Amino acid sequence: MNNELRELYQQVILDHNKSPRNYKKLETATNSSEGKNPLCGDHIHLYVKMNNDVVEDISFEGNGCAISKSSASLMTSIVKGKTKAEAEQLFEKFHDLVTGKISEDEDLTDLGKLAVFQGVREFPVRVKCASLAWHTLHSALKDENKIVTTE
Ligand code: ZN
């Protein structure tokens, strides 16, 4: 990771950890799910309000490390207003990014600030923290009634 990216990565994570976006319980949720990353102790509840095929509103609550919290904050910001298929596509791309399956030359503009999470690929344990919110979203969109765990 170059210095510029490292700095941006730290800024984004600190900012979203300190003031997470969409951090509340969503009373009007149509779908919800719960995710756990026992390795780190991250735990989130995700609330989604679907309108036909569109994520009309989304929020989360939980406890965890700065990476899991900032990732959930950014994830909820980016998938709001997206269709289910678009959200799943972003999940795949994000997963490829943090697991190092995407080259650094690839166009990451659709991921917005989430692109800084390519920084976690240097820390395999952190990949689970970064992707917890996304696995939980995947489950919520499928409306499964189970707890997602990264283990
Ligand atoms: Zn964590």
Domain CATH code at residue 30: 3.90.1010.10
DSSP strands (E only) in 4-137? 31-37, 42-51, 54-63
Per residue in 123-136, pLDDT (tens digit) is 888 999 999 999 99
Q: Is the Cβ–Cβ distance between 62 and 72 less than 8 Å? A: yes
Q: Is 114 inside any structural domain? A: yes
68 CA distance to ligand 1 centroid (A)? 5
Which tokens hold the place of 27? 């009373």
Domain that holds residue 95: 3-143
Q: Is 148 inside any structural domain? A: no
Q: Is 123 inside any structural domain? A: yes
**Per-residue model confidence (pLDDT) at position 151:** 81
Q: Is 136 inside any structural domain? A: yes
| Cα gap 37→34, rounded to integer Å | 10
147 CA distance to ligand 1 centroid (A)? 17
Q: Is 84 inside any structural domain? A: yes
- Ion ligand 1 neighbours (CB, 5 A) are 40, 42, 65, 68, 129
106 CA distance to ligand 1 centroid (A)? 26
Per residue in 42-70, pLDDT (tens digit) is 999 999 999 999 999 999 999 999 999 99
Q: Is 151 inside any structural domain? A: no
Q: Is 149 inside any structural domain? A: no
DSSP state of 117: G
Give CA angle at 87 (86, 88), nearest 5°. Answer: 90
Tally the domains of the chain. Answer: 1
- Across the chain, mean pLDDT equals 93
CA 72 from centroid of its chain's CA atoms: 4
pTM attached to this predicted model: 0.93
**Per-residue model confidence (pLDDT) at position 2:** 79
Coil, strand or helix: which one is 3?
helix
Per residue in 77-97, pLDDT (tens digit) is 999 999 999 999 999 999 999
* Mean pLDDT, range 94-109, rounded to an integer: 87
Q: Is 28 inside any structural domain? A: yes
**Per-residue model confidence (pLDDT) at position 119:** 85
